[in-house]
Chains A and B, each alone.
Chain A
């Protein structure tokens, strides 16, 4: 018999089914409950895992091939960047503050995503879902590693990068991102998927990565541009996975809708708070600006997010509850946050600075309704203090939100003159929040959020408020890593090296 003549040509979809889904089987010696113990307690009902539509069809042979090509290019470029002192192409070393925050707060999130996707890549009972999650798990460790490798060379020349692993676990502002990822990982598999796969990857990732990577490109940071560019096709897969997952949950059972909506509300607000760091970077930390945070929000939040939620409306999903509060915060958050960072800059492993006159002119043009009225006067005051030799420093205890862990520096929706504080009492203890959104999240799961590790109170209870001891503990080098960029070692070194490299002598 001529086998060739009889061989069936399988379509792409069928071939992929054979190479993935068909590998699984109904267990006979152990119960499904024992093999997949975590898949029911969140209340999500799935009747038929076979209804899962594979968001992308990538077999391992193709995965290795494509990814290896990207890896070859990536390392060739960052090797060259390191060899040729590519860091001297930066517009200015001030720019590095954004990267330092990224390495301390966001790259550990890539690792957490890796770990979390490995867990749900095992815990979901459907093979198609598992394979897609496993591919994301291996991609995310790639992202953590390429980021560390890309920034490794900056660490050799500039302060603030050297202790990122210590900062991740101990310094105060990283717990904003850490608690976000810890929150997602300590949730069940479906909520993790909504938190990271949907809210973070689909709704918020463009607000994080697009401005960040364009900021890098505008400011001569080829290393970051390269890892961002190299991760793009991975992220496209992650986004389609997140979207497929949410549609799958909503199509499986109408009872899933209120649960999913609750998670969307929660994770939108959690994510929005993490993005506070990005807003500051865009409006203040880029020597050469790309667009304002407001403009980025218009494109990636309002337009893209609006389209997404219009699409999901047919399942009964409405836009996240905090959307309007977010919209109101857009014109304020970067200023409020940068003012906070500047006054607490003794405790940050990156530099901040007083915006120059040019910077302030740009800010008032981009924020005509808020900057001149509310924030320029505060910067002017801080500038005066600095000129008088008594720079403004706040060694006081920042009040941190029990949920998002940011200092409570934000104002009331509708009244930018009033700082927003919320409180709740649970089992006789009082807890503080930055917003209604954060308070609601707490009240929905108080037993979870009372466990939060809050870095500021920990400093005072464990180290008795001894700032020097705290700096040792977080591995922050006073006078090098922290404080004002103006007069810093980074500034001195960059100017000197760049002078050497560009002078004709």
Chain B
């Protein structure tokens, strides 16, 4: 039924849902707030999981990090489903245009063979690492506590899958399906990739969601993305004539710049919560970033050769400086 309504001004009875008024005061709430705060069941959970009766259905106790309020871990991007998807759809338009540009100009075909080889050798096996990241972020979303913390992990997991798919397309564009097969063989058996694969598989058995967040999103990706996409693709390979490749990985570079702000905000809030948290985070960060750095050296060597150690060392220093700002020193 559509009736003709005159424009009238009527008095709203309230500004927002009660749980949001309790948190933010009696004023209209944002869509991020409505879609994020207190929407996970909090009380009177009915049954213990049959898959692990020691846990509750939503259990803040399965991580060593303790928060009085898990909703303090808010996302500075204020992503909820809509803003997340709109942002990625825009980036996808750009990426699609970049792929089309490289394709239509035949830029990939004009790469010198040894350069093409280097690109494939480095980037194609990383599609498996991105899949590992997807697994780990899906885990953090599934088992982490509180929507503010877990919802961005689902978005992050889908991003990880998207990146794995962009890398696969890049591989096919430069070297057909054979390049993917070769990349997978290297991931499984190539000596350069084994420390990284071990790192990823070891993460897949970590069942503390916050530790996994640190190991994957801070320690590993915090070193891998700047090394691979900034230092190697944007600097080294572009200088050698492969700037077309940088167009194909523009998404990854921008994505890292955007998402690290979220990762840092989460770390900073958790560390500021208590000395206990800070100590736990320091321990994890030291452990996993050491391992990540060691795992990345042979990968970086694939392109930078003898310069790999130095490149990794420079990045470790930058990473430490970044993480120190969150209140975590290691």
Interface residues in chain A, defined as those with a beta carbon under 8 Å from any beta carbon in chain B: 2-4, 6-8, 10, 18-20, 22-30, 34-35, 38, 41, 59-61, 63-65, 67-69, 71-72, 74-75, 84-85, 88-89, 91, 108, 111-112, 114-115, 118-119, 121-122, 127, 130-131, 134-135, 137-138, 141-142, 144-146, 148-149, 152, 155-159, 161-166, 168-170, 175, 178-179, 182-183, 185-189, 219-220, 288, 448-449, 451-453, 455, 458, 475, 493, 497, 500-503
Contacts and interface: CB of A to CB of B under 8 A. Distances in A.
B149 interface: no
Contact of A75 (B4, B29, B82): B82
A30 B204 contact: yes
Given A122-B138, A156-B15, A497 B44 contact: no
B162 A60 contact: yes
B30 to A, nearest CB: 11
B2 A61 contact: no
A7 B108 CA distance: 12
B306 interface: no
A137 B141 contact: yes
B89 interface: yes
Contacts of B135: 122, 130
B229 interface: no
Contacts of B176: 3, 6-8
B201 A170 contact: no
A22 B151 CA distance: 27
B288 interface: no
A145 B34 contact: yes
B3 interface: yes
Contact of B162 (A25, A61, A111, A119): A61
Contacts of A7: 172, 176
22 contacts: A4-B109, A23-B168, A25-B188, A29-B202, A30-B204, A59-B165, A61-B95, A65-B92, A72-B86, A84-B5, A88-B5, A89-B5, A122-B139, A131-B161, A145-B82, A148-B39, A155-B17, A170-B44, A175-B44, A448-B47, A451-B47, A500-B10
B45 A453 contact: yes
A449 B306 CA distance: 63
B45 A182 contact: yes
Nearest to A4: B109
Contact of B205 (A30, A138, A175, A497): A30
Given A61-B165, A65-B92, A188-B50, A29 B201 contact: yes
Interface string B55-88: 0011000000000000000000000111001101
Contacts of A135: 158
A64 B92 contact: yes
Contacts of B142: 115, 118-119, 121-122, 137
Instruction: Please report whether the interface of chain A is mostly helix, strand, loop or mixed according to DSSP.
Output: helix
B322 interface: no
A34 B203 CA distance: 11
B187 A25 contact: yes
Nearest to A135: B158
Interface in B148-172: 150-151, 154-155, 157-159, 161-162, 164-166, 168-169, 172
A501 B39 contact: no
Interface of B: 1-8, 10, 12-19, 29, 31, 34-35, 38-52, 57-58, 80-82, 85-86, 88-90, 92, 95-96, 106, 108-109, 127-128, 130-131, 134-135, 138-139, 141-143, 147, 150-151, 154-155, 157-159, 161-162, 164-166, 168-169, 172, 176-177, 180, 184, 187-188, 197-198, 201-202, 204-205
Contacts of B108: 3
A18 B168 contact: yes
Given A122-B142, A138-B81, A61 B92 contact: yes
A34 B82 CA distance: 36
Contact of A89 (B1, B47, B86, B131): B1
A142 B5 contact: no
B143 A156 contact: no
Nearest to A38: B51
A19 B165 contact: yes
A89 B138 contact: no
Contacts of A24: 128, 131
A187 to B, nearest CB: 6
A453 B81 contact: no
Contacts of A30: 201-202, 204-205
Given A19-B168, A35-B204, A115-B40, A452 B47 contact: yes
Given A23-B127, A59-B165, A138-B81, A156 B48 contact: no
A38 B49 CA distance: 11
